[in-house]
Amino acid sequence: MATSDAVKDPADKGKFKLIILIVLAGLLAIGLSVGATWYFMSGDKSAPPAQVESNAKAPAIYEALPPAFVINLNDNGRQRYLQVSITLQARDQNDLNALKVHMPVIRNNLVMLFSGQTFDSLATPVGQEMLRQKTTASVQEVAQKELGKVVIDQALFTNFVLQ
């Protein structure tokens, strides 16, 4: 029996060490997750509190994008049309004015986005909302690239006609 106990001890010690390593790795992963969550959720503490509060309470301002977009859609060989009027919602007029300089790029990107849609997908409220969200993301992407911040909260469809 003494021989078999000696053989089991190293194997048991190896399993015990493996279990301890797994538990320590799990605790480390949880600790890192909690730390990263705390770090990212704490926000930018370098900004003065008054500035943070003023941005959060700034009233919404709206800027229409005339003229309306008119897009040809192909529906199984049949010519269809989409007409969309868009208004941008923002919180800072100066940022919105800076974004207006890039309106040709924004309009181009939106024409390309709208042209890639299908009539069937836009015929449903869900499809229209998805397109509105993609429109918002497209404008925010240009603003981020050109101005270093997203500038607008959302793009709103103030007129949407499928024919």
Residue found by looking up tokens 């053989």 in the block: 7
Average pLDDT over residues 57-82: 92
Query: For the chain, what are the domain ranges?
Result: 1-43, 58-162
Residue found by looking up tokens 């911040």 in the block: 149
For residue 54 the two structure tokens come to 């003023």
Per-residue DSSP letters for 61-72?
EEEE-PSPEEEE
Specify whether the CB–CB gap between 82 and 111 falls below 8 A. no
Band of pLDDT at residue 1, cut at 50, 70 and 90: low
Band of pLDDT at residue 13, cut at 50, 70 and 90: confident
Average pLDDT over residues 93-113: 96
Band of pLDDT at residue 68, cut at 50, 70 and 90: very high
Q: CB count, 10 Å around CB of 94?
A: 9
Candidates 3.30.420.10, 3.40.470.10, 3.30.479.30, 3.40.50.720; CATH matching 58-162 = 3.30.479.30
Q: How many CA atoms lie within 13 A of 13 on its CB side?
A: 6
Specify whether the CB–CB gap between 61 and 89 falls below 8 A. yes
For position 153, what pLDDT does the model report?
Answer: 96
Mean pLDDT of the chain: 84
Band of pLDDT at residue 104, cut at 50, 70 and 90: very high
